[in-house]
Structure 1
Amino acid sequence: MVCVDFTAVVKNGFAGDIDDEILSYIVNVLSSSQEDFSTGEDVFEAIGDLLMECDSNEVKVKKFCESLFKQMKKDPENTRSNNVKLLDAPVSIGESTTDNTFESANSASFWAAKPHENTMIDFEANEALANSKKDRKKEVTNDTSKPPPEAVASQSISKKDLKSENDGRNLTKDIHIEDFDLSFGENILFINTSLHLNYGRRYGFVGRNGIGKSTLLKAIANKSLMIPSHISVLIVEQEVHGDDTLIIDSVLESDKVLTDLRKKEKKYTEDGNSTALAEVFNQLELMDADSAPSRAAEILAGLGFTPQDQKRTTKEFSGGWRMRVALARALFMKPDLLLLDEPTNMLDLAAIIWLEEYLQKWASTLFFVSHDRRFLSQVASDIVYAYNRELELYKGNFDQFESTKSERMKNQQRQYEAQQQYREHIQTFIDRFRYNANRASQVQSKLKLLEKLPELKAVDEEAEVVIRFDGCEKLPAPILYLSEVSFWYNKDNPNFVNVDVNANLESRIAFVGRNGAGKTTLLKLLTGDLNPSKGFRHAHKNLKIAYFTQHHVDQLELNVCPMELIAKRYPGKKEEFYRSCLGKFGVSGNLALRQLNTLSGGQKSRVAFVLLNMQAPHFLILDEPTNHLDMETIEALADAINNYSGGVIVVSHDEYLIKKTCKEVWLCKDKGVQILEGGITEYRKLLEAELI
């Protein structure tokens, strides 16, 4: 390991763009985590966000991190440094030469950087960051010997449909997928069920986590299930690749027909081919090509891109924002069938409100998975319900679906029970007179009657979703607060100015605001992952905070089952203990023994909640906890939050969760926070007023 003067290297790379405080923070992160880095990407993950506050060019920052990593890993014998470091503790050279990597205990004292005396760096937080990075690298392992499970589909296709498809006579844009089966790995998802989507309708797709909703969308998109070949299908599931393409151009180029016509227009103009050029102009006019740039800009603006953002390149944006670009491209292209898998996960409430209004006017067929009750009620014209390996269609939006489903299940159970009584009555007659010769004809008649009765099914009640956080010990006040806190990466452009936030073990607080308003930054100030640039943070000396983000879910080790995962994290316990921990979050039975790469996003989130709970926290800080959760699990999470004996702070776009759990709603805006007396309803009204 090489001794690197991190201060000099960072200053040279970002001369004049980085202030002393953020520089000191970066230097301490690099010093404490130097031995944990195995690639330049690891360096970027640790300090990339901070450096991009100084220079938004992601490619430049990544190259800098790669160069920095190479400097750290140079052979010490071939490296000379004029900056001599004094060892804080004796080191055995013999031990160090047998292994190129030092244990974390040694690395803490080997090249220990000396902080400037007047800085406010939290060394415990830096050490925690280093340890967490080491843990994450242990967790994220790929078992290449086991191929990922695949979806397998089969369906019944009539000769008539096949003939009309082959002859090109099937011009309808309605979709009928009859009698299909779908499995994923060893899990059978749907059996002998059918899906009918009429053109121009908007279908919300609901059902429990793990029932196969996302798998069905992918099977339709990749044509594993046959639909008419003339129907254009588009699914939004991957972010746009980051390159030098401008955001606005990325959306415009998604329309291949328009792009090809523009190329022909240029070619025929240069060639002087007036006849061909006239035909191109006619086609451009028919597709209203002149309005394309304004339509693309309108969609991007609705999804949160400012006019300045639209002229930036895709590589300058994070994965979440590039997912918004992918959604914008899909909306711009207007396919015959648009498939969306939880589109609200990547959006803030302002963008969700805009998308609701935009999709209400969607002209072609929309089939989307969502667990957002309000979004479903605002957008869906019909509901497809995945239940018991079958699909059931309900007319109307989600509110109508809930009432209709309840009534339908009551009727189904009544009819089943009535038929069972009728069957028992007939069977009693048969058993009584089976051997009576005088009644033989009547018995035969009754037997035939039983055979002709339709087979009715009892309502198969879905298991109740369980989520239960353990209680925590009481702590005397004050528990956690920020006092006159200001924070900045760049002092000339602070993120927050003079913020006061006070939380205790009874707190149920929601932070709301547009993306980029600083909600996550505020959470990190509360957790201690970031230190105030001005003012101070107080936390009770015994306070334990558990912090949930979607990143924690994404970093779960996928080649093990939940039982193995928590046993690795908390070794030395009996199987019953691990089962009990998982059972509190509905991860029980065979689900606890399935590999994580076969679980749905919502099921993985529940496993992450288990790990959160095992920290025995006094305070839960949850950043978008409802992403991928089905409605029943969101309901259970809300109940668990209400019953939890510690404090809770939530950042969420889910209005239902906030309404049901949070006593206070704080708006992050204009470098500060303000309480909204009207709660989440007031915030929605503010956003709706801005969109008018």
Structure 2
Amino acid sequence: MAQCCKLIKKSFPNLNDDIYAYLESVLENATEDIETVEDVYEAVGEVLMDVEEDKTEEDILEVCNSILNLLKPESSKKVNGIQKMLNAPVHLGQLASDQGLEDIKEANSIWLKTTDDAARNVDSKKLEKAKELDLKKQSKKDGKEIKPNSNKYGSREATASQVISKKEVRAELSGNNNSKDIHLENFDITYGEKVLIRGADVTLAYGRRYGFVGRNGLGKTTVLRMISEKQLKIPSHISILHVEQEVVGDDTRAIDSVLESDIVRHALLLEEQDLNQKINNGGEGAQDASSRLSEVYQELEAIDAAKAPARAAVILDGLGFIGDMQERATKTFSGGWRMRLALARALFSKPDLLLLDEPTNMLDMQAIIWLERYLQTWKSTILVVSHDRSFLDEVPTDILHIHSQKIDTYKGNYSDFNNTMVERLKAQSREYESQMEFRKHVQEFIDKFRYNAKRAPMVQSRIKMLEKLPKLEPVVTEATVTLKFPDVDKLSPPILMLSEVSYTYPETTRTIFSKVDLSATMESRICIVGENGAGKSTLLKILMDRFSPTQGTRTAHRNLKFGYFTQHFVDQLDLSVCSVELMQKEFPGKKVEEYRRMLGQFGVTGDMALQQIESLSGGQKSRVAFAVLCGHNPNFLILDEPTNHLDIETIEALGNALIKYKGGVILVSHDERLLKMVCQELWVCSRGKVWSIDGGLDEYRKMVEKEMVLS
């Protein structure tokens, strides 16, 4: 390949560096497909013809023949070496010289950029055609050719393609790469024919904590999954743990499940047992086993294996596994608690890269505060998707923002990012407006003196100047999210009341709470907080008359109609249809325009309403669930953790919609931003009691932090 490069340089001395890098990458990746001179000409010949117009087709064919003679003896060795690192389609058209790309990316002033004269001699359409042709070849070779599909969102699988630099390839093959920094260069992610991310560059520096934010459905969770499944390539020596699936329930104790997540320690302990058994049995291998046993003890001591049970217990306790809960079998826990176990295993095993997707969804405020403090001392790299603004202000050192098929990096926490992004958008808008004004002024001069012979040189000079200016795009701001709950008729009080209510689980002696006295009106904005398992969901079901109180009475207005939202409601959606079809099933007999209007009130518009629900993100599914819920016209909303999977902008919109809603609202949530927006009355459900607390959320947080210090 080096000889081919020299040949091309010698034959075409005026070749632009970017075009040269492109040709080099084409030859490097297409060697297996090249069998004849015509194949070489098809790959690079047309581009070379455009570069050197004075050369004839025979001249180009002669060069192509020389390239073929140089390529074929080395083809097998070279291609295999490259393919060892590239398991996904490669962006052949985007493989340009590092220096050329950096020069373009780092140019900050709109007035200093210029185009390259040699590049202007190339027919851009032919160059793009050649790129597409080679990309198709590579896709066929990798067995990942995209097949036509009548539904452009029909594919259920996301795919990634990525450029890996030669430097990274050499470092991986040599085995000498000890850096734990992660560079994801020039990668694309698509879902069917829908492009989620195009040409993104992300660097994760070791020891930094990255918050990953952006609107629902843009690909945050998909990026985490692509990294964990190695579809996006990172160095093989970096360990990754993605907290996504809950722990499988079996007879393993909770604390043992956490301890076993440290694979090295677990393997050494098993080997220790095996060696002790061999020594006790005696025989020929006893002496070797004794020698190896000493080494095992040294390795266990080096990793502080003796302290592991205590460390695992601390993590479990922080996540709410108190007392004998740590000794219980994993199969006795619900799905939410098994997700906590998965998080505990991840924290205990300390991977080089920890991937967390909405870790606060399953946690109460006590556990959230503990997790924030624990992650603040984390030594390796974290990439966390979260929509909890308080969590994003406490944990991340950097923010990754996904938008417009790009990913931008910002230093600082979420508040720092928000302030910086606003200022950046203002600066970009000013720069765009300034250039538009400048272009307008120059164009007026050109139009005025275009046919004036005396001013012809000045006109030509200004035309060239306009050509050299980069074409800036107008600043595109993300559309504002607006949610709207239906209007309701007023009901005269009393609306809803609990008097001296107690509840004990059937066939048990466990009392969840007792002597509860609460009332709600159509103007109520009541928020319920408390640790997991304290009985918040049970209280909601008593309010809706799904559970009958063991003692006391429940009183409700005869026309009261509840709208009950839970995460289970989202999980029960029919995933095999699109949102419009789902609304047709729920509310038959209406026009399609009416279904779209109902969905549009919750931001499910355009193509999103026609996508298969399975292909929607968690937050988008929640919006569909809200549309179904409100289609039944409730006049009192009971919302149990409604913010799970909603993006920050949608949570803000939900808060504004609840403020404007004319019916009553009772909300269970631990999202501090939403609680501060909506809450007019705070109920605490804890330790067998339910009571109203003065001072709101701030006072409750202080109470929780004080209890954590005392414990």
TM-score (structure 1 length as normaliser): 0.78
In the alignment, structure 1 residue 259 sits paired with structure 2 residue 266: yes
What SS class does the counterpart of residue 586 from structure 1 fall into?
coil
Q: Does the residue aligned with 2:511 lie in a helix, a strand or coil?
A: coil
Counterpart check, 1:532 vs 2:549: yes
Q: Which moved more, 1:677-686 or 1:443-452?
A: 443-452
| Aligned partners of 2:259 and 2:312 also within 8 Å | yes
User: Is 2:670 the counterpart of 1:667?
Assistant: no
The aligned counterpart of 2:312 is 296
Return the match for 1:416 from 412, 422, 432: 432
1:13-412 alignment, distance < 5 Å? 149-272=156-279, 273-412=289-428
Secondary structure of 2:199 counterpart:
strand
Equivalent AA in structure 1 for residue 251 of structure 2: D
> Taking structure 1 as reference, are residues 283 and 590 closer, same or farther at Cα in structure 2, changes over 3 Å only?
same
Shift of 1:456: 2.4
Residues 262-315 of structure 1: per-residue CA shift (max 9 Å, x gap): 112222233343321221111111111111101111110000001200100000
- Residue identity opposite 2:229 in structure 1: N
Which whole-Å deviations, capped at 9, do the CAs of 1:123-160 have from their partners, x for residues lacking one?
A: xxxxxxxxxxxxxxxxxxxxxxx986111111111222
Alignment match of 2:693 (pick from 655, 659, 676): 676
TM-superposition CA deviations, 1:226-275 (whole Å, max 9, x none): 11111111111000000010000000001111111111222223334332
Which residue, 477, 481, 491 being the options, matches 1:465?
481
User: What displacement does 1:183 show?
Assistant: 0.9
Please say which of residues 198-207 and 481-490 is displaced more in the overlay. 481-490
Residue of structure 1 equivalent to 2:444: 428
Corresponding residue number in structure 2 for 1:80: none
**Residue in 2 that maps onto 1:100:** none
User: Are residues 550 and 148 of structure 1, via their aligned partners in 2, closer, same or farther at CA, if it must alter by over 3 Å?
Assistant: farther
C-alpha contact (below 8 Å) 1:176/1:195 kept by paired residues:
yes
- Matched to 2:346, the amino acid is A
Query: C-alpha separation between the residues in 2 aligned to 1:667 and 1:602?
Result: 27
Look up the match of 1:576. Answer: 593
CA distance in 1, matches of 2:180, 2:417: 25
Q: Which amino acid in 2 is paired with 1:456?
A: L
Matched, 1:642 2:649: no
Give unpaired runs (5+ residues) of structure 2.
1-152, 280-288
2:603 maps to 1:586: yes
Answer whether contact 2:154 2:612 (CA < 8 A) is retained.
Answer: no
- What's 1:520 paired with? 537
* Distance (whole Å) between structure 1 residues aligned to residue 409 and residue 676 of structure 2: 29
AA matched with 1:333? S
Task: Judge conservation of contact 2:155–2:191 (CA < 8 Å) in 1.
Answer: no
**Amino acid in the other structure paired with 1:481:** M
The alignment status of 1:511 with 2:518, answered yes or no, reads: no
| Aligned residue in 2 for 1:99 | none
Alpha-carbon deviations, 1:539-592, whole Å to 9, x = none?
Answer: 111110111100000000011111111111110111221111111111111111
Q: In the alignment, which of 623, 626, 629 is matched to residue 606 of structure 1?
A: 623
Which has the higher Rg, Structure 1 or Structure 2? 2
Determine the C-alpha separation between the residues in 2 that align with 1:451 and 1:277: 75
Query: For residue 622 of structure 1, what is the aligned residue in structure 2?
Result: 639
Contact 2:154–2:192 (8 Å) recurs in 1: no
SS of alignment partner, residue 276 of structure 1: helix
Say if 1:252 and 1:292, in contact at 8 Å, map to a contact too: yes
Aligned pairs, number: 547
Gaps of 5+ in 1: 1-145
Structure 1 equivalent of residue 702 of structure 2: 685
- 1:475 counterpart = 2:482: no
User: Any conservation in 2 of the 1:148–1:597 contact (CA below 8 Å)?
Assistant: no
Per-residue CA deviation, residues 448-489 of structure 1 (Å, 9 max, x unaligned), is 322322332221111111100011111111111111111111
Partner secondary structure for residue 292 of structure 1: helix
Report the Cα distance in structure 2 between the residues aligned to 1:232 and 1:425, rounded to whole angstroms. 57
Q: C-alpha separation between the residues in 2 aligned to 1:477 and 1:226?
A: 62
Aligned mates of 2:680, 2:218 — CA distance in 1: 34
SS at match of 1:226: coil
For residues 440 and 165 of structure 1, the distance between their equivalents in structure 2, rounded to whole angstroms, comes to 58
Q: What secondary structure is seen at the aligned counterpart in 2 of 1:324? A: helix
| Counterpart contact for 2:528–2:685, Cα < 8 Å | yes
Equivalent residue of 1:170, what SS?
coil
Q: 3-state SS of the aligned residue for 1:495?
A: strand
Aligned letter for 2:353?
L
Confirm or deny: 8 A CA contact 1:566 1:578 kept in the other structure. Answer: yes
Describe the SS at the equivalent of 2:501: strand
What residue number does 1:455 align with? Answer: 471
Normalised TM-score (structure 2): 0.76
State the alpha-carbon separation in 2 of the partners of residues 413 and 184 from structure 1: 31
- In 2: Cα distance, 1:597 partner to 1:433 partner: 60
d(CA) in 2 for partners of 1:685, 1:433: 73
Partners of 2:707 and 2:318 lie apart in 1 by: 11
Report % sequence identity: 57
